[in-house]
Amino acid sequence: MKKFLPLLLTSLITFLAFPTLLFRQPLPSLGLLAWFSLVPLFIFFKDKTPRQVFWTSFIAGFLFYSGAFYWIYNALHYFGHLSPSASLGALVVMMTAMTLYLAGALALARWLSLKTGLSFYLLLPWTWVVQDFCLNYFPVGGFSWGALAYTQTKLLPMIQIADLGGPYLVTFLIVLLNASIARVLVREKGAWVQSLLVSVLLILTVGYGFYRILSYSEEDRPHFQVSLLQGNIPQEEKWQERRAQAILGIYQEMMDQVVASDLVVWPEASYPYLLSFPLRGSSGLGASFKFDTIVGAVTGQFTKKETISNSALLIKKGGEFAGAYHKLHLVPFGEYVPYQTVLSFLHKVVPVIGEMKAGEDARLLKTEKAQLAPLICYEDLFPEIARNFTKKGADLLVNITNDAWYGVTSAPIQHMELSRFRAIENRRYLIRSTNTGLSAIIDPLGRVVKKGRLFQREMMEGEVVLGGPTTFYTRHGDLFAWGAVVVVVILGLISCFKNKENKG
C-alpha cells in the first residue's frame, strides 16, 4: 500500500485543486495546490522505466479523472436514461481514453530522456502540453475540461498570460514548477539551474499579470446593456408537450421584467417548440420582443432531407428574424453518434441520443450596436472556437447553455470557471445565460462581474463594454502548443536516429 501513496496523494490533491462540490457544498478555492500536487508522483518516477512510468501514471490519472468527472454518470443515467451499467461503462471508456493520453505523454518523456540524455524533469512539461493539445481535438472532437490551467481561475495574475499562449502556456508553467521541485528533491544534477529558470518565468508571469490588470481600461469603448434569463426549467420537463406553453409563459414573464436593454439572452434550447427553417421576415415567435434577443432553440429543415440543429437565433425588436448560428461542436453520444459504422447500434439501445447536424461556419449574430459570438453549450470549452469568432470581429462572447443535465454537482461551477479563460484569451466580455446556472457576466480580465445562483429562476441585468484590441493569442492562435509539438517531434526523431545508430 505504501508504494501507492504517491499516486493517491497526487490524484487527491489535484482533484481538490479544481472547483469542487462535496456533499453539495462548495470547497474553498484551492487552486494553489495544483502547483505542488504532481510532486509526489514525479518523485516516484525517479529511475523508473518508460513502461513503469506508463502504468503508474495510468493508475494515478484514472483515479483523478474518475473523481473529477463523476458528474458524467449523473448526466448519462438520471437525464440520459441509460442504465446504471451502461452509464458506468461509458464513463469508464471515457476515463480510459483520457488517461491513455496522460500515461502515454509521461512515458514518452521518460523514453526521450533515456534516448537524448536530457532530464526527464525538463521534458515533462513539453509532453504534457502536447497531450493537452491533442485532448482538445481527439477523440470524438476532444474534451479538455480537466486541463490543469482551469484550476487557476481565482489566481488572476497567474492566468493573464492566456492572451499569449492560451491555457496551454498556463499548464506548461504548472507542470514545470512541479517537475522542478521534484528534481530538486531527488537531487538530480542541474536541478537548481532549472529551478532558477522556473523562478524567473514565474516572476515574469506574475509581473505580466499585474501589468495587464493594472493597465486595463474601458475608456472610449461603447457600453452595452444586457439581460440574461435563467428559467430554471427541470430537465425532465423541458420537452414535455404539456409543459411547453407554461415554459414559454415563464420566459415571456421574465421578458416583461426587462425595462431597458440592448440585448436579452435566453439559454440553450429554451424555446420549447421545434422551429422549422427557413424563417423569413417574421420569426414566428410573435411580435412581443421589445429588445434584440438571442433565443436558444432546436431548429429543423424539412425540405429535401430532414435535419435538426442546436441553434442560437437573433430576433430583432418587434419579432423580426435577423440571423441564426447552428452549433458547430456537437456533444458526442448526446447530440450525435460518432463512428456511425461501428456504433450505430446505440440508437437502438438509447433512442434518446440525437442525430443533429453541425453548423457549417462560425457565423456572427449582428445587431445595430454589436457583433455577437454565440457559443452554445460547451463550445466555450474549446479555445479555437471563441478565437475564430473574435478574429471575425466579435465584440462580445455569448455563451448559452443548459447545465441541468449535471444536477447539483461540480460541473456547472467548473463550466463557468473555464469560460473565464475565453474572456482573457481574446480580451472580450463574455456573458452566460444558462437554464439552471451559473449565469454570469465576465470581463476581459476574467473577473466575474455578476454571477447568478444554481437552480434558481432569475433575470440578471448588467453592462458590458464592446470590442477592444485583439490579443496575440487571437491573432496567432496556438503557437505555443504547436511549438511544444515541434519540440517533442524533433526530440523523437533524434531519439529514433540514435537508436538506429546504436543498432548499426
Please indicate whether residue 302 or residue 108 has the higher confidence score (pLDDT). Answer: 108
**pLDDT (average), residues 102-129:** 97
Band (pLDDT 50/70/90 cuts) for residue 23 is confident
Q: What is the dihedral sign for C-alpha 129, 131, 132, 137?
A: positive
As a whole number, the mean pLDDT across the chain is 91
- For 434, the 3-state DSSP assignment is strand
Taking only the tens place, the pLDDT of each residue in 367-390 is 999 999 999 999 999 999 999 999
Dmax (CA) for the chain in angstroms is 80
H, E, C per residue of 113-162: HHHHCCCHHHHHHHHHHHHHHHHCCCCCCCCCCCCHHHHCCCCHHHHCCH
Please indicate whether residue 37 or residue 341 has the higher confidence score (pLDDT). Answer: 37
Q: Whole-angstrom Cα distance, residue 56 to residue 79?
A: 34
Q: CB within 8 A of 193, min separation 6: which ones?
A: none
Pick from 164, 191, 189, 166: which is nearest to 177 by CA? 191
Q: Whole-angstrom Cα distance, residue 386 to residue 465?
A: 17
Least confident interval from 197-211, 324-338, 414-428 = 324-338
**Using an 8 Å Cβ cutoff, are 163 and 212 in contact?**
yes
**Using an 8 Å Cβ cutoff, are 404 and 436 in contact?**
yes
Compute the half-sphere exposure of residue 88: CA atoms within 13 Å on the CB side of its CA. 3
**What pLDDT, on the 0 to 100 scale, is given for residue 85?**
83
Band (pLDDT 50/70/90 cuts) for residue 103 is very high
Please indicate whether residue 29 or residue 203 has the higher confidence score (pLDDT). Answer: 203
Catalytic residue annotation? 268, 327, 377
**What pLDDT, on the 0 to 100 scale, is given for residue 437?**
83
Q: For the chain, what percent of residues have pLDDT higher than 70?
A: 92
pLDDT at 287 over 60: no
Q: Angle at which helices 479-503 and 162-185 pack, to 10 degrees?
A: 40
Band (pLDDT 50/70/90 cuts) for residue 339 is low
Q: Whole-angstrom Cα distance, residue 227 to residue 204?
A: 38
**What pLDDT, on the 0 to 100 scale, is given for residue 353?**
54
pTM, entire model:
0.95
